[in-house]
Structure 1
């Protein structure tokens, strides 16, 4: 059993993604902080697509939890259950908490070790390099950015992107969708809209794919970039099952506490906050909860708790390789080189590393 030996309040953070990692870092010198994550590293999530076409890029984007959490503890295991005072992990540990922050986002099946994740990116890159034609299934951010990255680094490849919806990037405005479509076509990416592929029918080593419209596509390799499973599934068998909405997200109040719970917070993609799920907003969640936990653990004064207000003026940037991108800003939508200057060149990796207290240039 982990717990009970410290006079400081124990804050347990479940999930080491953008929100959870930053929260643990911010709290480590104020409380007894413990981070539970099935991986030994924090991965900057929006960089994985570039890492597939340039594996060396991942050396700066995969950060061991122990590199930034120098005054906290890490349990490298999956949380499988919770009570009102304890978290249970897959490896058999029972961890006591005073305050709990849930930040499990999406359930991505990524390797436990940083070394294995780097090898996975290398394997993806080998598939791309050895294939003359590549199929990408899904026209959301992941599919669009992967198509842009491959077309930029390997312009000789025949890249096909298939999307079941009427336009790409349906989570943002049509102007941004149209600009992304034009940029992809300028890179010779074939885009097939309102078509899909039966994922259940795909077998290992598949080379010929038939779309819902009857079109036959031959590809040396394929990548599925549609829907990721929610990271809240494990909570459906816990006392917080009534705190989940119909989409499986945790219902939170203005202080980002799970509704009806005074010592349990939720941040990032796992929350029911009505806003686009973006990394920089997850970081804002972490900042609000860090302030609130510091108040509660030091003063116990709820009257001063910080509130989180969802922004209606959302900024979204989609990278299409290093030199082009699309940006949807509050008052305009732009495409081309300007968004690339803001995001695409480094994908904000240097900034995130500085936020985590690390050398922005170092591996």
Structure 2
């Protein structure tokens, strides 16, 4: 058993080592006995993974071992399977006592999946490799698949699908890229003006975009080369990537005492201080929360900063009336279109071209994020 009343410092358990959980654990490691529970040995910068599929060496910078930024905390490489009001249970049989708990399990599946990977997904909650070495090899395999294919099908026209289409069309302009999306427009999480700009750019790059059509994913067999859409159109492709259906990391909570704290979308309901409603010592951050805003990495980082501030206050015996509050952010997002261009959704307008590309697309905020995590902008 890890932790307990004999510890001089309070125990803060963070479940989930993604963009929100990793930053929170880093920021709390010298203020409490921090325990980070994550099935992976590393933190991955999720919005940069698509670049790694066309440039595998880029992955060296986006995969950061938990031990590189968490020098004063404990890391349990396992999956959380259950909780009580004072304990967390893990897949490998451990029981961890906590004084404060932060749930940051977000979304599983940060990268597109092929048919084989989707089958694996049904067998485990998240098929993402546990070791950094295996994850690097996965990017190499994805790149090899793209390079050996003359045509690529992308299923799903959200951020992931659009950015992957942009990466492939820029780095491999000779390849035929087809993007199928079931909705009436791409990037439906942002405004119509921004999505239309992205559509126009993709078409200029030769990407064949099929809207209001879908593919029956369950009908796809291994080695499939011809795909039939819901409109009866046949699409030939040497490989395909599924960019839809990213599962929310809350399934395990449905079997715990927090099941009543999940809304209809299986997101945790939180108050203005980011505590799970009705719970004084349990917080939630990132995609798993019911906060009404676009689910983006930098906003998850903002939430982590608020919870870190609140935990430090509570650990010092501060008054709850002084807890920091989190205010949902306005609709702002930048979608990269290859290496030099992008489209940005701003509060009152949308812009595209080199300006948003300079803001995000060149480095995808990787240097900034690495510096934030205390590991330096580049791999030494």
TM-score interval, normalised by the smaller of the two chains: over 0.9
What SS is found at the alignment partner of 2:152?
Answer: strand
**Count of residues in Structure 1 that have an aligned counterpart in Structure 2:** 362
Written as runs of structure 1 = structure 2, the 5 A alignment for 1:209-288 is 209-288=227-306
Deviation of 1:298 (Å): 1.3
Deviation of 1:156 (Å): 0.1
CA–CA distance in 1 between the matches of 2:13 and 2:337? 37
CA–CA distance in 2 between the matches of 1:238 and 1:254? 23
CA–CA distance in 2 between the matches of 1:252 and 1:2? 27
How well do the aligned residues superpose, as a CA RMSD in angstroms? 0.8
Deviation of 1:353 (Å): 0.5
- Does the 8 Å contact 2:190/2:331 carry over to 1? no
Q: Which runs of 4+ in 1 moved over 6 A?
A: none
Written as runs of structure 1 = structure 2, the 5 A alignment for 1:318-337 is 318-337=335-354
Per the alignment, residue 88 of structure 1 pairs with 89
Per the alignment, residue 308 of structure 2 pairs with 290
Deviation of 1:107 (Å): 2.3
**After the TM superposition, which of the residue ranges 191-200 and 103-112 deviates more from structure 2?**
103-112
What SS is found at the alignment partner of 2:340?
Answer: coil
Written as runs of structure 1 = structure 2, the 5 A alignment for 1:78-117 is 78-108=79-109, 109-117=127-135
Per the alignment, residue 50 of structure 1 pairs with 51
Deviation of 1:358 (Å): 1.3
What SS is found at the alignment partner of 1:107?
Answer: coil
Deviation of 1:314 (Å): 2.6
Deviation of 1:300 (Å): 4.1
Structure 1 unaligned segments of length 5 or more: list them: none
The question of 1:158 aligning with 2:176 is answered yes
Deviation of 1:301 (Å): 2.0
Structure 2 unaligned segments of length 5 or more: list them: 110-126
Per the alignment, residue 2 of structure 1 pairs with 2
CA–CA distance in 1 between the matches of 2:148 and 2:298? 35
CA–CA distance in 2 between the matches of 1:275 and 1:61? 25
CA–CA distance in 1 between the matches of 2:359 and 2:31? 34
Match of 1:193 among 195, 200, 211: 211
CA–CA distance in 2 between the matches of 1:59 and 1:187? 28
CA–CA distance in 2 between the matches of 1:37 and 1:362? 23
Deviation of 1:170 (Å): 0.4
